[in-house]
Structure 1
């Protein structure tokens, strides 16, 4: 996690999926996440236009991307796609990207019908909570 000597840093988390991308935000002082939105873009260009707009609004200093794996930790097709997505954010927007194991985030939320409409954004919030838990000082 970046040094917080200059004050709190806004952190933005993404739960990448091929159809939808969940977005959440928080900061290094409060270490609490807030589900922002779910992006359902027709193609990568539209997706990254929406991401650029969100990044301009929130000005994060750190990006977190959920890294899906099999329950035993083994990588699969979506692991590579999520890595590519995070690398594209880093390359396009020159922001540091951290990876968080997201094996169980969607499973935790699936039983909560109130979150269903924005499940991906709430998954991104859980990813961000995990990031903060792993970087407590």
Structure 2
């Protein structure tokens, strides 16, 4: 079964998944929050998901950021729609900057680097990789 990570935003949600053996994290898509549940139901009809990992927005002093309330609402929606799937939260500080740097390092042109959807998807990949590394090395 796969793991699935989300970089939640009020305009876009970046989504990443693992392969069935949970070895490799890959960007899946970026979707609008209004369609996320339908998207997930369609995806999970063919691909079983074992766990959701959601980026937790925090300030530098470790307190919740302004967007934390929106993420809590998203997590509650996931719990209501998919009660059988456990949810793990992971600090998402710096993931967008790391994603932008990774896209730049990959040689992307300026137009590609400015694609906010791509940044959100790569951020979700970074979250998922970080979670897998944390679990693997504990």
Q: With structure 2 as the length reference, what TM-score do the two structures score?
A: 0.81
Query: Is the 2:3–2:18 Cα contact (8 Å) retained in structure 1?
Result: yes
Could you tell me which of 86, 98, 107 is aligned with 2:97?
107
Query: Is the 2:3–2:22 Cα contact (8 Å) retained in structure 1?
Result: no
Q: Deviations over 1:48-87 (max 9, x none)?
A: 2122222323210111111111122111221121122122
Q: Secondary structure at the match of 1:58?
A: coil
Instruction: Report 1:1-137 matches (<5 A).
Output: 9-27=1-19, 29-41=21-33, 44=34, 46-94=35-83, 95-111=85-101, 112-113=103-104, 114=108, 116=113, 117=115, 118-136=118-136
* Aligned equivalents of 1:31, 1:78: Cα separation in 2: 30
| Structure 2, unpaired ranges of 5+ | none
Q: With structure 1 as the length reference, what TM-score do the two structures score?
A: 0.81
Query: Over aligned residues, Cα RMSD in angstroms?
Result: 1.9
* Aligned equivalents of 1:33, 1:39: Cα separation in 2: 18
Distance of aligned partners of 1:31 and 1:87 in 2 relative to their CA distance in 1, 3 Å threshold: farther
The number of residue pairs the alignment matches comes to: 126
